[in-house]
């Protein structure tokens, strides 16, 4: 019964159908009447509209209208009209697949829109060029122009262009087989189509996302997208969209093994498609029935559907080819391109011969495949079940291994964080207690001396308290800076600046501290020390290094700051002739887990955090830091900063 019904459908497809273009003809008549009364600017817009409307009726007329719009616009020197006309000419070439000629016209449109500063038009031109490159399989160029269109659309906040841009990128990545990226871009396009209330495009993207999941081997997930597509198609009462979605959903159910559901959907899809008399869609459903019957082992039905499918496919190919030749002939008749038409006819003949050869071969192969299938079904089914079981076990084992590895890594990270926290608290407990003890002790002594009016002693104690407060302030400042770096909230604003000025200002700042210990503090940074870094962070780096150099230099010693250029970096050195560092302690200087610190030559206190902060700030600016030191002879701390980004 089903085959008889299909035969009736097949015959009915070739009965005459009313064109259904009356509304379009009314629009054309109305626009052509307006040409008699409007000015040239409006004439350009009308000619371009007529070109768009005639693309579905006569490509020759469409091309002529676009060229008439171009002629008037060029005479007026009207950039928008010229660019729109080039777009319409490109659209005519794209309609018949002459992508190189279409691309040439889109490029000319883009050039004019760039000169006019028309960002909306530029985004559209970029998108059109990306489509041309995609159809000629120049994927790299296609991606480049789609991305340019997206950047421009985001800049002008054009939701319609953003929707189509994400849509185009999704289809491009689907062609390239990058299935995860397909879902990301198409998901974004859905959001924009929804906000624009463009339901038809929304349905189209849902179907593409479902197809992508099918290719990824996830039919159950694909069903969710097809189901939403069916719901929206029913809401629009669009039988063509509804038929396509049900056909796709039937394929998905067939992949899950729900053959009864698949057959029901294929039958409903065929009924809807028959009402629309859409031959291409009907033929696609025939192909689905063929695959269904192959999977269910009904090879007789499968063969009958396969025969109907190829008969209709060949007929459709002939009709399309004839229509395409007619369209090309219209275009090339106006431009004297008979040679290209002859090539197309030759191609059609060759393709027709190839189709006949392929059909004969496919018939033989189908018969052979059915016989071979019957012989191997039992063995293949057993192997399939065994392989499927092994694959499931392999996936489960791999997932378990990955989970265990994540747990081990997470445990290690938590242990490291806890160790760092404990060491940090130890530093605070150790280094905060000394200044506070000094403050408490000497304030008590001052209170006692105040009773006896020993002014000299009070002054002495005040000096000690002042120094303790300075040490405490320096400690808290370093703790705050270190805390910010650990939390990742440190301000970082790199810029070009003269390092010489920063060093000179810091030498002036530390001059009093150096003078107290009779230390000669100098800098020899000549002009031209321009670096690209965060000036505040670099100032903190030098401040800590100079402070340390003064702290560990003897009375009457020296501290010197120098620099030199090295391989695109400025290398800065802070040298002293102080106590130096033992070789075994050098590696501890920049590590939080060791908390290495020692008193200065005048018993100055240190926190051990200064050099840790210095290392992190140097690396934040893209440089390196190291130390060259010899015990009792002095140290040289060196670090680098980039000259350019």
pLDDT score for 576: 94
Specify the higher pLDDT residue, 356 or 195: 195
Q: Is residue 223 part of a domain?
A: yes
Mean pLDDT of 610-619: 88
Q: Is the pLDDT of residue 459 over 60?
A: yes
Specify the higher pLDDT residue, 465 or 558: 558
Shared-domain flag, residues 550 and 634:
yes
Question: What's the rounded Cα separation, in Å, for the pair 274 and 267?
Answer: 11
Which tokens in the block code for residue 506? 């810091």
Q: Is residue 210 part of a domain?
A: yes
H helix intervals, 453-518:
455-487, 499-509, 511-516
Q: Which of 77, 98, 117 is the last residue of a domain?
A: 117
Sorted by sequence, the CB contacts under 8 Å of residue 169 that are 6+ apart come out as 143, 146, 147, 150, 185
pLDDT score for 257: 92
The answer to whether 290 and 266 have CB atoms below 8 angstroms apart is: no
Shared-domain flag, residues 636 and 510:
yes
Tens digits of residue pLDDT in 226-243: 999 999 999 999 999 999
Among 8-17, 31-40, 593-602, which is the least confidently predicted range? 8-17
Shared-domain flag, residues 570 and 624:
yes
From the list 18, 599, 55, the residue with the least C-alpha distance to 323 is: 55
Which tokens in the block code for residue 509? 């700042």
Shared-domain flag, residues 145 and 188:
yes
Question: What's the rounded Cα separation, in Å, for the pair 458 and 522?
Answer: 35
Q: Is residue 22 part of a domain?
A: no
Shared-domain flag, residues 286 and 165:
no
Q: Which CATH number is 73's domain given?
A: 1.25.40.10
Sorted by sequence, the CB contacts under 8 Å of residue 130 that are 6+ apart come out as 141, 142, 143, 144, 145, 146, 148, 149, 168, 172
Tens digits of residue pLDDT in 468-478: 666 566 567 66
Shared-domain flag, residues 537 and 635:
yes
Q: Is the pLDDT of residue 22 over 90?
A: no
Sorted by sequence, the CB contacts under 8 Å of residue 240 that are 6+ apart come out as 272, 273, 276, 278, 281
Helices and strands: H and E segment counts in the chain: 22, 7
SS3 state of residue 637: strand
Q: Which of 197, 224, 245 is the last residue of a domain?
A: 197
Instruction: Give the percent of the chain with pLDDT over 90.
Output: 31
301 — pLDDT class (breaks 50, 70, 90) = confident
Q: Is residue 543 part of a domain?
A: yes
Q: Is residue 212 part of a domain?
A: yes
Instruction: Give the percent of the chain with pLDDT over 70.
Output: 74
pLDDT score for 260: 93
Q: Is the pLDDT of residue 213 over 70?
A: yes
pLDDT score for 204: 92
Q: Which of 170, 197, 224 is the last residue of a domain?
A: 197
In this structure, what DSSP letter does residue 565 have?
E
Is this prediction's pTM over 0.75? no
Q: Is the pLDDT of residue 343 over 70?
A: no
Among 338-342, 512-516, 552-556, 570-574, which is the least confidently predicted range? 338-342
429 — pLDDT class (breaks 50, 70, 90) = low
SS3 state of residue 78: coil
Q: Is residue 163 part of a domain?
A: yes
Shared-domain flag, residues 502 and 635:
yes
Specify the higher pLDDT residue, 151 or 444: 151
The answer to whether 597 and 588 have CB atoms below 8 angstroms apart is: no
Shared-domain flag, residues 113 and 143:
no
338 — pLDDT class (breaks 50, 70, 90) = very low
Mean pLDDT of 189-205: 91
Element spanning 119, H or E: helix 119-135
Instruction: Work out the angle at residue 511's Cα, subtended by the Cα atoms of residues 539 and 528, and round it to the nearest 5 degrees.
Output: 45
pLDDT score for 21: 44
Sorted by sequence, the CB contacts under 8 Å of residue 578 that are 6+ apart come out as 549, 552, 553, 554, 557, 601, 634, 635
Q: What single string gives the DSSP state of each residue in 365-396?
A: HHHHHHHHHHHHHHHHHHHHHHHHHHHHHHHH
Element spanning 562, H or E: strand 558-566
How many Cβ atoms sit within 10 Å of the Cβ of residue 170? 26
Mean pLDDT of the chain: 80
Specify the number of domains making up the chain: 4
Shared-domain flag, residues 113 and 125:
no
Q: Which CATH number is 588's domain given?
A: 3.30.565.10
Shared-domain flag, residues 221 and 263:
yes
Q: Which residue has the tokens 């250029």?
A: 565
pLDDT score for 428: 57
Mean pLDDT of 380-405: 79
Q: Is the pLDDT of residue 531 over 90?
A: yes
Q: Is residue 598 part of a domain?
A: yes
Shared-domain flag, residues 50 and 74:
yes
From the list 380, 378, 475, 400, the residue with the least C-alpha distance to 435 is: 475
Q: Is the pLDDT of residue 589 over 90?
A: no
pLDDT score for 570: 92
Across 43-57, 224-238, 424-438, the highest mean pLDDT is recorded for 224-238
Distance set, CA 598 to CA 183, 423, 431, 543, 609 (Å): 59, 17, 12, 18, 12
Mean pLDDT of 241-259: 93
Helix 119-135 and helix 79-95, axial crossing angle in degrees, nearest 10: 20
- Domain range enclosing 527: 494-642
Question: What's the rounded Cα separation, in Å, for the pair 240 and 282?
Answer: 10
Q: Is residue 285 part of a domain?
A: yes
442 — pLDDT class (breaks 50, 70, 90) = low
Shared-domain flag, residues 176 and 101:
no
Among 73-77, 206-210, 273-277, 560-564, which is the least confidently predicted range? 273-277
């Amino acid at each position: 019964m089903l085959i008889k019904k299909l035969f009736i459908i097949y015959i009915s497809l070739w009965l005459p159908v009313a064109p259904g273009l009356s509304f379009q003809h009314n629009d054309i008549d109305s626009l052509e009447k307006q040409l008699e009364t409007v000015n040239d600017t409006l004439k350009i817009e009308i000619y371009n509209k007529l070109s768009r409307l005639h693309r579905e009726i006569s490509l020759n007329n469409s091309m002529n209208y676009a060229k008439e719009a171009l002629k008037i616009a060029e005479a007026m020197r009207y950039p928008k009209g010229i660019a729109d006309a080039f777009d319409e000419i490109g659209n005519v070439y794209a309609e018949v697949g002459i992508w190189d000629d279409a691309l040439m016209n889109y490029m000319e449109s883009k050039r004019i829109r760039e000169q006019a500063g028309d960002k909306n038009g530029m985004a559209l031109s970029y998108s059109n060029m990306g489509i041309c490159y995609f159809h000629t399989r120049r994927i790299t160029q296609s991606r480049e122009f789609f991305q340019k269109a997206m950047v421009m659309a985001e800049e002008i906040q054009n939701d319609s262009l953003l929707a189509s841009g994400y849509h185009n990128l999704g289809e491009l990545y689907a062609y390239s087989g990058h299935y995860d990226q397909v879902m990301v871009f198409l998901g974004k396009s859905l959001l924009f189509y929804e906000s624009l209330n463009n339901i038809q495009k929304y349905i189209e993207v849902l179907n593409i996302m479902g197809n992508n999941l099918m290719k990824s081997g996830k039919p159950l997930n694909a069903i969710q997208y097809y189901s939403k597509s069916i719901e929206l198609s029913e809401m629009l009462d669009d039988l063509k969209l509804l038929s396509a979605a049900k056909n796709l959903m039937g394929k998905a159910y067939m992949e899950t093994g729900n053959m009864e559901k698949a057959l029901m959907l294929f039958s409903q899809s065929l009924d809807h498609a028959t009402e629309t008399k859409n031959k291409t869609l009907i033929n696609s459903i025939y192909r689905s029935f063929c695959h269904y019957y192959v999977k269910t082992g009904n090879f007789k039905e499968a063969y009958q559907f396969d025969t109907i499918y190829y008969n209709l496919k060949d007929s459709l190919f002939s009709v399309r080819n004839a229509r395409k030749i007619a369209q090309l002939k219209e275009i090339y008749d106006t431009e004297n391109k008979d040679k290209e038409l002859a090539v197309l006819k030759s191609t059609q003949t060759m393709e027709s011969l190839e189709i006949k050869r392929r059909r004969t071969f496919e018939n033989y192969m189908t018969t052979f495949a059915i016989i071979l299938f019957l012989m191997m079904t039992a063995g293949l089914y057993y192997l399939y079940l065994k392989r499927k079981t092994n694959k499931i076990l392999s996936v489960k084992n791999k997932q378990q291994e990955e989970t265990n590895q994540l747990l081990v890594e997470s445990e290690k990270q938590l242990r490291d964080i806890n160790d760092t926290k404990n060491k940090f608290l130890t530093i605070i407990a150790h280094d905060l207690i000394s200044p506070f003890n000094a403050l408490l002790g000497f304030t008590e002594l001052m209170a006692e001396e105040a009773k006896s009016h020993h002014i000299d002693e009070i002054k002495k104690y005040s000096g000690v308290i002042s120094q303790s407060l300075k040490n405490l302030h320096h400690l808290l400042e370093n703790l705050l800076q270190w805390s910010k770096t650990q939390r990742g909230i440190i301000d970082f604003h790199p810029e070009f600046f003269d390092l010489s000025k920063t060093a000179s200002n810091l030498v002036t700042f530390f001059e009093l501290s150096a003078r107290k210990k009779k230390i000669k503090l100098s800098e020899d940074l000549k002009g031209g020390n321009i670096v690209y870094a965060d000036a505040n962070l670099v100032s903190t780096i030098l401040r800590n290094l100079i402070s340390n150099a003064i702290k560990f230099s003897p009375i009457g010693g020296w501290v010197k700051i120098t620099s030199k250029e090295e391989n695109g970096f400025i290398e800065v050195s802070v040298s002293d002739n102080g106590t130096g560092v033992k070789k075994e302690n050098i590696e501890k200087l920049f590590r939080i887990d060791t908390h290495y610190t020692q008193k200065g030559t005048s018993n100055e206190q240190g926190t051990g955090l200064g050099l840790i902060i210095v290392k992190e700030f140097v690396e934040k600016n893209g440089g390196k830091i190291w130390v060259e030191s010899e015990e009792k002879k002095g140290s040289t701390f060196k670090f680098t900063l980039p000259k350019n980004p």
